[in-house]
Amino acid sequence: MSQNNDRDYDVCVIGSGAGAGPIISELSKAGKSVLVLEKGPWLHNNDFFKDELACCRRSTYTPNLQDEQHVLEEAGYDGQWVSEASSESGWDFWNGNVVGGASNFMSGFFYRLKPKDFHLKSEFGEIAGANVVDWPISYDELEPYYSKVETEVGISGRVVAHKFQEPRSREDFPYPPTLEHPVVKIIDHACQQLNLSSLPTPRAILSRPANGRNSCEYSGYCGSYGCSSGAKGSARAALIDQAVASGFCELRDNSHVYKLKSDASGKVIEALYYDADNKPRAVTAKLFVVACHAIETSRLLLASDGPRHPQGLGNNYQQLGKNLLFSAGGSGTGEFHYDQLDRLDMDGISADALKTRGPFVNRGLQDWYFIDDKAFGGQAKGGLIDFLLRHPNPISRAMSVRWNSDDNLNWGDALKRDLKSTFTSAQDLRFEVFNDWLPTDDCFVSLDKNVKDKYGQAVAKVRLGYHPHDLKVGRYLADKAEMVLQQMGAKNIRSSVSGSPPANLVAGGCRFGNNIKSSVLDANCKVHDVDNLFVTDGSFMPTGGSVPYTWTIYANSFRVADKIKTLL
Amino acid sequence: MIKPDHSLLQLNRRQFVQLLSSSALFAPGLASAAQIAQAVRDPAYQNLADPWLTIAEVQQHLLPADAQSPGAEQIGALNFLQTMLQVNNDPQESEFIQQGVDWLNQLANKQHQADFKQLEPAQREVLLRRIETSDAGARWLSILMTYLIEALLSDPVYGGNKNRRGWQWLEHIPGFPTPSADKVYFKLGAHASSRRRTKA
């Protein structure tokens, strides 16, 4: 039996990442009593180090897959769906189960959506086999909140006019750009020659101290690592720490919510959870907000059946968990060999400058965010190209030479030669392509019938199908990016575009809309037929845009916080 | 934004269990002459007994030292491996690594009438390449290689990368801050919580 000896809170928030942070912060500021239940531990700035084992090779910030996992379903060669538990495959879909969630581990590479992203169906028409719909809100409704994220979370950048620049209410970013790596000079030069607009990348990283947070220390290890200076705009450092300090917010870590209990009227009355000692507990609140990262949000609602919601909360029209989104695209690399730099037009950039570690490669291309090219097939939604250096993690780099060309393990003197060469002969400039992962009937979350987590609850099963159009757009963009590397004089240029989903870029599953029969949430991100339940992580997105989701998730959560304030 | 790879260390549980149940010799072999043991140079390695002595010899073969660069011994690879096995506290994994030593020595004796540690480098190479052709042997070597590479390039707080020799050799610029002994990964986060939970 669960015990409930808690007070009745105004709001109970489940999860503490980017979708939860603004709700927590805004409602605490408004003097509401807020309880946050986070399944992971509460780590602070001084718990984060540049430790590759901790960040990237052990399950430090995510559950052990034997305890909690996913079942992943991919298309087999014969057209059948083949499912495998992640404890078997090692394919880990967790993204940071700690206070602040996955926002602790982002590289803070932030872009807004563009006005047309809010009505892709009207703009570009139907794509057969895809469930593209217009959003129930416009860019103009979200713009003030995009702007709010710039100051509240802290975004550094510099606005440069270009053909697809979205409208802004603030002229420029509140913080100047983060320091830039010398390689940007060569990128800019090549783009100029190709008549492209190389754009400074906005980052949710403070370039000067503000609000009790330090400025970036430019260690050169950012993505995948928790931030020790507090400069990175995680929900924890930017929003939650202050909310807790205000006295209006209580945060319970190691508290895993497994069910939301609803009454005969269909309203949510209790959140049931296991505390740090694995004891079942319950808590009541006037209003509940779920933001557990897209897959887990759908899982929790699916597991939360009740008298008016026999198939899970908000699932009376079988929309829950559907139209899950990832980021489509791919990545590529070109090499700059230190002993061949004199043959290139390097703008005076030396090998030592190329080896610089610390500053960011703040450059991206949006020249093909919308495609208008007969060779492609006319007008279409395109995407974004982002440039970055190879991640500095040395173990993963060394692992890349652990097999030799005969597919045998590489060892002895040959291994040492390859290690020396891969570490010291060249700088790798990489790019990543981001384009829309079209929503389809083949990408969704359900509850697995067999596999349970350590609490005995059904784990999420995720079908990972993609639309072939995603690959067509991704390839188009990757070819453009390769062209830039070519112009720069990079060697050994290659790229890959695939339908393999990046587990750290997930959205959808509870898309918002005006019709209960084709969406889970209404335009305010309230579950259509539940009066006191909101979803504020990336689950609400019907289409994902062609940029990382985090800025949009933050902005939407600020928007929903304003709606909730009028209800309490 | 980095789209992470699947962890290479993560063992495929099903395959791993299958391997444990197939505890046959790595591969059948031919007999040949016994050889004299190679002297161990680092004092820390002098009082080792099997299985650790053989594992240390295998590690040194996989990552040999030369005039310009450190080998397994110089980076403390054995210390790192022992620390990790203790932290992982996974009897299946420890047993598999120890069993591998038995299998390796059985094959060495069959082919050379000597233990692995007594063989010349060229003989060791042939023997290790031989066991690599079996699934169990490849898996065993692969696990040792993974820990060896981690020992070369992880933070020295974990017992490898002694005096930052791995980073120095490969001209690697580490990030900062680096972890203190009380904030290593197994004292933080999911590891710390699960420990607390089992005590409760």
Instruction: Give the pLDDT of chain B (200 residues) as one tens digit per residue.
Output: 343 333 333 444 444 444 444 433 343 332 222 222 333 455 667 789 999 999 999 999 999 999 999 999 999 999 999 999 999 999 999 999 999 999 999 999 999 999 999 999 999 999 999 999 999 999 999 999 999 999 999 999 999 999 999 999 999 999 999 999 999 999 987 666 554 443 32
Digit-coded pLDDT (tens) for A383-434: 999 999 999 999 999 999 999 988 899 999 999 999 999 999 999 999 999 9
Contact B193 A40 (CB under 8 A): yes
Q: What is the pTM of this model?
A: 0.93
Contact B62 A408 (CB under 8 A): no
Q: Is the pLDDT of residue A548 over 70?
A: yes
What b/e sequence results for A23-45 when a residue is b if at least 16 CB atoms lie within 10 Å of its CB, and e otherwise? bbbbbbbeebbbbbbbbbbbbeb
Contact B7 A432 (CB under 8 A): no
Within 10 A of B90 (CB to CB), how many other CB atoms are there?
A: 13
Q: Of A63, A87, A395, which is closest to B13 when you measure between CB atoms?
A: A87
Q: How far is it, in rounded angstroms, from Cα A498 to Cα A446?
A: 24
Contact A228 B177 (CB under 8 A): yes
Residue B23: what residue type?
Answer: S
As given in the structure block, the two tokens for residue B145 are 């290689």
How many contacts, defined by CB atoms under 8 Å, are there between A and B? 186
Contact B176 A217 (CB under 8 A): yes
Q: What is the pLDDT of residue B6?
A: 36
Biggest distance spanned by C-alpha atoms of chain B: 58
- Spatial CA neighbour of A439 closest among A367, A514, A296, A542: A542
Contact A50 B174 (CB under 8 A): yes
ipTM over 0.85: yes
Q: Of A63, A423, A432, which is closest to B172 when you measure between CB atoms?
A: A423
Q: What is the pLDDT of residue A61?
A: 95
Phi, psi (deg, nearest 5) at residue A370: -120, 130
Q: pLDDT tier at A3 (50, 70, 90 boundaries)?
A: low
The CA-atom distances, in angstroms, between B186 and each of A54, A428, B80, B183, B199 are 8, 32, 14, 8, 16
Digit-coded pLDDT (tens) for A310-357: 999 999 999 999 999 999 999 999 999 999 988 777 777 899 999 999
How close B90 gets to chain A, by Cα (Å)?
Answer: 12
How close B114 gets to chain A, by Cα (Å)?
Answer: 22
**Closest residue in B to A327 (Cα–Cα):** B3
Q: What is the pLDDT of residue A342?
A: 82
Phi, psi (deg, nearest 5) at residue A426: -155, 155
Q: What is the pLDDT of residue A482?
A: 98
Q: What is the pLDDT of residue B42?
A: 59
Contact map slice: A 67-86 vs B, CB within 8 A: 67
Q: How far is it, in rounded angstroms, from Cα A199 to Cα A189?
A: 12
User: Is residue A333 less than 8 Å (CB to CB) from chain B?
Assistant: no
How confident is the prediction for chain A on average, in pLDDT? Answer: 96
Q: How far is it, in rounded angstroms, from Cα A548 to Cα A552?
A: 8
How close A84 gets to chain B, by Cα (Å)?
Answer: 11
User: Is residue A417 less than 8 Å (CB to CB) from chain B?
Assistant: no
Q: Mean pLDDT, to the nearest integer, of A509-536?
A: 98
How close B94 gets to chain A, by Cα (Å)?
Answer: 17
Contact map slice: A 185-204 vs B, CB within 8 A: none
Mutate to test the interface with B, among A409, A420, A504, A551 (most CBs of B within 10 A): A409
As given in the structure block, the two tokens for residue B66 are 């030369």
Bridge partners of A498? A329
Q: What is the pLDDT of residue A344?
A: 76
Contact A64 B190 (CB under 8 A): yes
Q: pLDDT tier at A40 (50, 70, 90 boundaries)?
A: very high
**Closest residue in A to B166 (Cα–Cα):** A394
Contact A416 B184 (CB under 8 A): no
Contact A412 B150 (CB under 8 A): no
**Closest residue in A to B133 (Cα–Cα):** A408
How close B27 gets to chain A, by Cα (Å)?
Answer: 16
Q: What is the pLDDT of residue B190?
A: 65
How close A332 gets to chain B, by Cα (Å)?
Answer: 12
**Beta pairing, strands A370-373 & A378-381:** antiparallel
How close A174 gets to chain B, by Cα (Å)?
Answer: 22
**Closest residue in B to A217 (Cα–Cα):** B176
**Closest residue in B to A331 (Cα–Cα):** B3
Mutate to test the interface with A, among B2, B6, B89 (most CBs of A within 10 A): B2
Lowest mean pLDDT among A5-19, A134-148, A348-362, B24-38: B24-38
Q: How long is chain A?
A: 568
Contact A60 B185 (CB under 8 A): yes
Cα B89 off chain centre by = 16
Q: How far is it, in rounded angstroms, from Cα B100 to Cα B23?
A: 9
Structural contact between residues A559 and A147, judged by C-beta atoms closer than 8 angstroms:
no
Mutate to test the interface with B, among A43, A51, A107, A219 (most CBs of B within 10 A): A51
Mutate to test the interface with B, among A47, A52, A53 (most CBs of B within 10 A): A53
User: Is residue A91 less than 8 Å (CB to CB) from chain B?
Assistant: yes
Q: How far is it, in rounded angstroms, from Cα B94 to Cα B89?
A: 8
Q: What is the pLDDT of residue B47?
A: 84
Contact B3 A331 (CB under 8 A): yes
How close A562 gets to chain B, by Cα (Å)?
Answer: 30
Q: Which residues of A touch B132 (CB under 8 A)?
A: 408-409
